[in-house]
């Protein structure tokens, strides 16, 4: 005997699926939604089992995430490589597959045939034009799934894909914001002789990989880092965190900014070969009268002296991090007279679609005036961002050497030692 | 599968990806897809035509750098055609002008790619090409 599906009641149940998901779309944080959806799908199709496997992009495996009538698949953490077995084939070929024979020749997952499933039908879950998982139903009695059944399952799968994507995006955004928050200094270090202020504005829609870091060195001196990791969301934020830690570690090992960025580049190319980033790494002398800067594909700072128009610091250019191993890197030393203001920033501040980058840089140059860093930040953000939502992340850091100090014992850390060597 | 904004054309047996006026975080995945497609179709080397491009942010550069690495690992290369000031400026700031082979016309770029033996480029695609890590469409946006 084979199971039969009444098309009329299928239509009714199809509407039931639509209505529940529409209502539930507003409270997608509920992971139970996927299970609920599978349950309704199983009912609508009069199937015995239903399961959703979500694609883990990093491993290329489908992971059993929710199930109805087949809970063991989730409990045992079933993983199916894309391209293999029943679900793997659906994901790889982006099309529905119907199986009239369920055994080790057609299905990779022994749970399915051990369960006694006779017929199966699966469809890809597609969101945003890409496969994000596979949804399948099974029958314990031999059954011919029809084109109508496939359509219905596809509808449920599309709903589930949208729901899952929305949940993932929400979770991702929350994680990125938490991570971003923990990575950008909540308070800038207090350094005698220097004043600092900073702004960080995440891009609209996606959080990118911009960051900055400011820390004092044990031998005196101050480090400033600005960086921009290509990509967005959690992957970019994770790489950003790793780069920040690596830079802090290398900063303690060598005083040479070119060496620090060289080590970072080598580390990234070995452990994160797909990462790409621009980095500015600057070491201020303890007296704050000079700064040694090395650029890895990053914009040079803008410098403003009291009473003078600002200019882009003439810093030697260097290749981005993550492109080519062992590239030579140059350090440029810039004198900082008392009262001088340095403006460090990421591309989001100066890049605008439809205009040359030099136009953005010129706008920034005109907006930077030697004044208190807080006022300078406000003025630059006002002039370059205004009331427009930023498309890309923006990080901005202003550092001023106090105008009223000219002595050479500025940084409030251990007394200057012979280690403050700047052989750069 | 290929993004209409990033058409891939075969010119003299070499895949040529035409980039649009703006490449940024909103369409960089499309560029990535077109580059993967080109890598899978071509004789090893391919060209990205950036002559129309006026804006390319870090995500666009990311796609280009990744594709160049893959092409070079396969013994090929990724060549660029650029025009105007905007793209060369970005490449100068990021230092990428030192590593990418860049030309001012498509003809010049194509002249750098050795002719494919036998004159039938498609029959020369090595069987391993499409099995390269990163070629599967599922990896494209990751």
- For the record, the structure tokens of A41 come out as 């799908």
Residues of chain A with CATH 3.60.40.10: 184-401
> Which has the closest alpha carbon to B108: B23, B16, B32?
B16
CA A350 to chain centre: 21
Q: Measured at the alpha carbon of residue A110, what is the angle toward residues A109 and A115, in degrees to the nearest 5? A: 115
Does residue A316 contact residue A197 with C-beta atoms inside 8 Å?
A: no
pLDDT in tens, A270-289: 999 999 999 999 999 999 99
Most confidently predicted of A202-206, A216-220, A340-344:
A340-344
Binned at pLDDT 50, 70 and 90, residue B130 comes out as very low
Residue range A7-173 in CATH 3.30.450.40: yes
pLDDT score at A358: 92
Is the pLDDT at A228 greater than 60? The verdict is: yes
Is the pLDDT at A114 greater than 50? The verdict is: yes
pLDDT score at A424: 34
- For the record, the structure tokens of A170 come out as 């929400």
> What span, in angstroms and rounded, lies between the C-alpha atoms of B115 and A114?
56
Chain B CB contacts of A58 below 8 Å: 142
Most confidently predicted of A198-207, A382-391, B47-56:
B47-56
Does residue A112 contact residue A65 with C-beta atoms inside 8 Å?
A: no
pLDDT score at B124: 38
Residue B54 is nearest to which of A276, A354, A391, comparing CB atoms?
Answer: A354
Residues of chain A with CATH 3.30.450.40: 7-173
Q: Closest approach of chain B CAs to the CA of A11, in angstroms? A: 32
The CATH number assigned to the domain with range A184-401 reads 3.60.40.10
Mean pLDDT, residues B99-108 taken together: 94
- Asked if the C-beta of B58 comes within 8 angstroms of chain A's C-beta atoms, the answer is yes
- Asked if the C-beta of A69 comes within 8 angstroms of chain B's C-beta atoms, the answer is no
% of chain B residues with pLDDT over 90: 39
pLDDT score at A416: 39
Is the pLDDT at A113 greater than 70? The verdict is: yes
pLDDT in tens, A82-112: 888 899 999 988 899 999 988 888 888 888 8
- Asked if the C-beta of A389 comes within 8 angstroms of chain B's C-beta atoms, the answer is no
Chain B CB contacts of A297 below 8 Å: 93-96
Domains and CATH numbers, chain B: 8-112 (3.30.750.24)
DSSP state of B125: -
Residue A274 is nearest to which of B66, B92, B94, comparing CB atoms?
Answer: B66
> Which of the pair, B73 or B128, is modelled with greater confidence?
B73
Mean pLDDT, residues A359-370 taken together: 96
pLDDT score at B126: 39
Is the pLDDT at B141 greater than 80? The verdict is: no
Look at B65 and A82 and tell me if their CB atoms are within 8 Å. no
pLDDT score at A5: 53
Give the SS3 label for residue B140. coil
> Cα–Cα distances in Å, from A308 out to A340, A365, A366, A373?
10, 11, 11, 16
pLDDT in tens, B27-85: 888 898 888 888 877 668 999 999 999 989 888 999 999 999 989 988 889 999 999 88
């Amino acid at each position: 005997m084979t199971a039969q599906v009444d098309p009329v009641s299928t239509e009714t149940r199809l509407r039931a699926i639509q209505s529940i998901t529409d209502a539930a779309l507003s409270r997608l944080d509920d992971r139970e939604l996927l299970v609920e959806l599978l349950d309704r799908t199983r009912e609508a199709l009069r199937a015995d089992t239903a399961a959703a496997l979500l694609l883990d992009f990093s491993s290329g495996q489908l992971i059993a995430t929710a199930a109805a009538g087949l809970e063991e698949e989730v409990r045992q953490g079933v993983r199916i490589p894309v391209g293999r077995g029943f679900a793997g084939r659906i994901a790889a070929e982006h099309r529905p597959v119907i199986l009239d024979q369920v055994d080790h020749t057609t299905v990779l997952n022994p749970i399915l045939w051990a369960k006694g499933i006779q017929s199966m039908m699966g469809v890809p879950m597609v969101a945003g034009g890409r496969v994000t998982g596979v949804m399948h139903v099974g029958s314990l009695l031999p059954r011919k799934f029809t084109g109508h059944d496939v359509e219905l399952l596809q509808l449920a799968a599309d709903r589930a894909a949208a729901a899952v994507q929305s949940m993932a995006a929400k979770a991702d955004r929350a994680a990125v914001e938490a991570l971003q928050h923990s990575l950008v200094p909540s308070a800038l270090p207090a350094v005698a002789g220097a004043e600092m202020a900073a702004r960080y504005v995440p891009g609209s829609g996606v959080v990118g990989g911009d960051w900055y870091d400011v820390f004092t060195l044990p031998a005196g001196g101050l480090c400033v880092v600005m960086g921009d990791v290509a990509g967005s969301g959690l992957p970019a934020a994770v790489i950003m965190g790793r780069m920040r830690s690596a830079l802090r570690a290398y900063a303690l090992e060598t005083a040479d900014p070119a060496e620090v960025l060289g080590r970072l580049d080598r580390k990234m190319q070995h452990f994160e070969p797909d990462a790409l980033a621009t980095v500015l790494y600057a070491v201020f002398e303890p007296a704050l009268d000079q700064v040694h800067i090395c650029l890895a594909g990053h914009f040079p700072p803008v410098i403003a002296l009291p009473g003078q128009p600002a200019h882009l610091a003439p810093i030697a250019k260097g290749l981005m991090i993550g492109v080519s191993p062992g590239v030579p890197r140059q350090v440029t030393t810039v004198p900082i007279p008392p009262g001088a203001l340095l403006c460090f920033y990421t591309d989001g501040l100066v890049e605008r679609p439809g205009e040359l980058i030099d136009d953005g840089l010129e706008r920034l140059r005109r907006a930077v005036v030697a004044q208190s860093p807080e006022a300078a930040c406000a003025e630059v953000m006002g002039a370059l961002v205004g009331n427009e939502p930023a498309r890309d992340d923006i990080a901005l850091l202003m550092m001023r050497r106090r105008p009223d100090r000219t002595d050479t014992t500025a940084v409030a850390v251990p007394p200057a030692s012979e280690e403050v060597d700047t052989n750069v | 599968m290929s993004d209409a904004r990033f058409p891939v054309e075969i010119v003299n047996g070499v895949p040529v990806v035409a980039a649009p006026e703006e490449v940024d975080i909103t369409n960089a995945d499309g560029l990535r897809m077109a580059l993967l497609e080109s890598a899978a179709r071509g004789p090893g080397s391919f060209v990205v035509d950036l002559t129309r491009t006026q804006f390319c942010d870090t995500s666009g550069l990311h796609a280009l750098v990744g594709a160049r690495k893959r092409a070079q690992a396969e013994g090929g290369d990724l060549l660029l055609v650029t025009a105007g000031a905007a793209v060369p400026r970005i490449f100068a700031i990021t230092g990428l002008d030192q590593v990418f082979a860049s030309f001012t016309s498509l003809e010049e770029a194509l002249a750098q790619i050795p002719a494919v033996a036998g004159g039938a480029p498609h029959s020369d695609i090595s069987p391993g090409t499409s099995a390269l890590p990163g070629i599967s469409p599922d990896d494209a946006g990751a």
